[in-house]
Structure 1
Amino acid sequence: MARIVIAGAGLAGRLCAWALVRSGHAVTVCDPSPDAQPHFDGTGAAAFAAAGMLSPLAEQEQGGARVAAWGWRSLTLWAGLVQALRPAEVPFRRDGSLLLAHRSDLGAAQRILALIPGAQALDSNALHSLEPALVPGLHGWLLPGEGLIGPVAAMHALAQALTPAPTQSGISVDWRWGCPVLSVSPGQARLASGEWLRADWVIDTRGLGTAPDLPVRGVRGEIVTLSLPGHGLRRPVRLLHPRHRVYLVPRTDEELAVGASEIESGDRSPVSLRSAVELMAAAHSIVPALAEARILRLDRHLRPALPDNLPMTHHEPGLLRLNGLYRHGWLLAPALVEQLLAAAGLAQLHALVNVRPPSLSLSAP
């Protein structure tokens, strides 16, 4: 058994903790947030302010083959993880996703599609059969095998799995909420209080909290959560627009998320009127029924990105780092956590969720 300190209780930190305690290690998790819950105010874990699209084919456009390979691996791991958590409470589907374009934007869409091998063109009848809620006249392409996960539900399930009720025995971690980590080094973490936590291993998943030690920047994401009972959308869709990459993700039969993939800005202020109007107008242009949707929440966050927009994993005795998940956090985190913990000999995530071992082609950047 190893003593392990994890700096950061976002998605990567919670996945690491989940795998490590099930492998018999003693785990302490430190995070500046006051608790494990989302607050939707631009602070806390960026994973809460995400749509939860699992789109390895679509992300080839910017991430290339490595991001796609990690994404497919993560889809396999997510299937096992959700079953091991709360399958009735965590939305997870793999019915594919759709790329859409209005007729006037077809030229711009074709340039993007050239970078996405595997997209299957659909005629109007096939598109209507898959998604009858869409407005007629759209051009559509199916990305088979892609999926979605419910971010808030999954984050909650990970925390709950590591926090048994007082009357129950079970695997748990030592949560240190309201406890920022200022710096890490092999075998130790320095807290804002001045305390040093010493352990056999320190795992740094702090995202933007690692600056200036790492050249990490914030990429703003904005999301609108809508309620429309019986909206009818079954799959995540992306609208290929010359100025926006707007996505629309059905989380439940009543709730949907609308967002834009990335905004190069470190601004944490609330969503602007312009952004909100553009996002919702784009969504309404493809799903007319959204005219009657109700706005549940406008949210924003900064996602950690490195200069090349690819994730970084680092392994040395006593210290592991995972950062730069950019807009790919839910798509890449399980595969990268699996890879990092296996390299250190601390846990075999695939065995814990009963899936096949990873292929040798999943190499770190």
Structure 2
Amino acid sequence: MANSLNLSNSKYAIVGGGLMGRLLAVALANRGAQVDLFEKGGSDASHAAARIAAAMLAPLAESAITEDSVVRMGLYSLPRWKELISELSESVFFQQDGTLILWHRQDASDAERFTAHLEKNCRANSELSSPQKLSNETLRELEPSVADRFNQGLYLPNEGQLDNRQLLEALASELKLLKVNCHWHVEIDPQDLRKESSYKAVIDCRGTGAKETWSTGDKPNTLRGVRGEVIRLYAPEVKLRRPTRLIHPRYPIYIAPKENDVYVVGATEIESDDLSEMSVRSAMELLSAVYTIHSGFAEARILEMATQCRPTLKNNLPEIRMNKDKGLVDLILINGLYRHGFMIAPAVLDCALQILEQGSSKTALELGLSVTHNSNQAEAVCA
């Protein structure tokens, strides 16, 4: 989406300074708008779900568990991430070398079902790159560090990842350069800002902090938190080149290699808003699983064990809601990115920008992103 919109006479308030709030603030400021950003936490994004993430951009891998509309948003977003990152003043690690899928011998039947599911999805969506089955020889060429432990694997081409924390920091720096009015450590109700007539719109990007707002209206959409747990490891003896997923009898383990021998390991999804520390069981399962992939993880140093709750709507799909009330500034709510936040964020961003400028979004219709109004009449409904 080209930066062709001119919003030099517009003023917006954004509540929530996580991934989506920062992306929107930067995009609007680049288009000439005046932006006030309000965030209850600091510029380090310590309260944001986006800080505790692997930031994998894997539409084919995710197609095994999510709707086709999310896959289409993921495919749309991959090239957009390259554009968005290239426009930032600070560098952000980005990689598009595919995803590696591994499994132990006892899980071969699960791997066969997983592969068949992906192949079926590729037949249904020609934009997806077909998975490639790997022998031990081809696995050794692609990812030599695991070939001694695995005789076969699956390679998903064209999938990518980025460094979430570098991105959040780069966006924070960009906000300064663009002179966005950032109100860090300020918790505010978007409804209060709607009384400020100078704003063209108030945009609510608070994630799980917006539960009460999403529970109101004629057809409320329940917003909940889904707990995720990740471990960050420093493992200089491990040389994985690309995100690697292990087919596991309980849940798929993922390992996302970042720069400087840092690896983000995760898997768990718990239906809970609990933000307490990681459980012993989760830590033991994650660490034992990564050790079975590469023995070098035995000497890794644990940098961090972290938890966060991903904002999730009742259908596990993202949504943009538009509230228009007489005498108040328009309220735009963006939420429900769930576990796919980084994978689909550019698609949601572009749809939101179209809505702010034109009142509707052709891209949302094409991708199946749900856009609803006060009257709960859907402009676009996910298939």
Q: Distance in 1 between matches of 2:113 and 2:271?
A: 22
2:139 to 127, 133, 136: 127
Q: Deviations over 1:160-207 (max 9, x none)?
A: 01113xxxxxx221111122233438x717xxxxxx686110111111
Aligned position for 2:366: 361
8 A contact 2:102–2:152 mirrored in 1: yes
Q: Distance in 1 between matches of 2:286 and 2:105?
A: 19
Shift of 1:267: 1.3
How do 1:176-215 and structure 2 match up within 5 A?
A: 176-184=183-191, 188=194, 199-214=199-214, 215=222
Q: Distance in 2 between matches of 1:276 and 1:260?
A: 11
Aligned position for 1:287: 294
Aligned position for 2:162: 149
Residue 76 of structure 1 aligns to a residue in which SS? helix
8 A contact 1:315–1:344 mirrored in 2: no
Aligned position for 1:334: 346
Matched to 2:97, the amino acid is D
Shift of 1:127: 1.1
Shift of 1:216: 0.7
Matched to 1:188, the amino acid is R
- Higher relative contact order at CA 8 Å, sep ≥6: structure 1 or structure 2? 1
Q: Quickly say closer, same or farther: Cα 1:268–1:360, change in 2 above 3 A.
A: closer
Q: Distance in 2 between matches of 1:305 and 1:175?
A: 26
Aligned position for 1:59: 62
Shift of 1:313: 1.3
Q: What is the alpha-carbon root mean square deviation over aligned residues?
A: 2.1
Aligned position for 1:50: 53
Q: Distance in 2 between matches of 1:188 and 1:198?
A: 9
8 A contact 1:73–1:358 mirrored in 2: no
Aligned position for 1:172: 179
Aligned position for 2:379: none
Q: Distance in 2 between matches of 1:17 and 1:81?
A: 13
Q: Distance in 2 between matches of 1:233 and 1:124?
A: 16
1:10 aligns with 2:18: yes
How do 1:83-122 and structure 2 match up within 5 A?
A: 83-86=86-89, 89-117=91-119, 118-122=130-134
Q: Deviations over 1:214-246 (max 9, x none)?
A: 211111111111112252110001111110211
8 A contact 1:100–1:140 mirrored in 2: yes
1:71 aligns with 2:74: yes
Shift of 1:84: 1.2
How do 1:26-41 and structure 2 match up within 5 A?
A: 26-33=34-41, 35-39=42-46
Shift of 1:305: 0.4
| Percent identity of paired positions between Structure 1 and Structure 2 | 38
Residue 226 of structure 2 aligns to a residue in which SS? strand
8 A contact 1:100–1:138 mirrored in 2: no
Structure 1 stretch displaced more, 18-27 or 196-205: 196-205
Residue 366 of structure 2 aligns to a residue in which SS? coil
Aligned position for 2:278: 271
8 A contact 2:225–2:312 mirrored in 1: yes
Residue 302 of structure 1 aligns to a residue in which SS? strand
Shift of 1:121: 1.3
Shift of 1:359: 9.6
Shift of 1:129: 1.0
Residue 186 of structure 2 aligns to a residue in which SS? coil
Residue 331 of structure 1 aligns to a residue in which SS? helix
For normalisation by structure 1, the TM-score amounts to: 0.87
2:336 to 317, 324, 336: 324
Q: Quickly say closer, same or farther: Cα 1:184–1:127, change in 2 above 3 A.
A: farther
More helix by share: 2
Q: Which runs of 5+ in 1 are unaligned?
A: 165-170, 190-195, 348-356
How do 1:293-332 and structure 2 match up within 5 A?
A: 293-315=300-322, 318-332=330-344
Q: Quickly say closer, same or farther: Cα 1:128–1:359, change in 2 above 3 A.
A: farther
Aligned position for 1:192: none
Matched to 1:132, the amino acid is P
Shift of 1:338: 0.6
Shift of 1:263: 2.1
Residue 100 of structure 2 aligns to a residue in which SS? strand
- Number of aligned pairs? 337
Q: Deviations over 1:327-360 (max 9, x none)?
A: 001001111111111122179xxxxxxxxx9697
Q: Distance in 1 between matches of 2:188 and 2:358?
A: 22
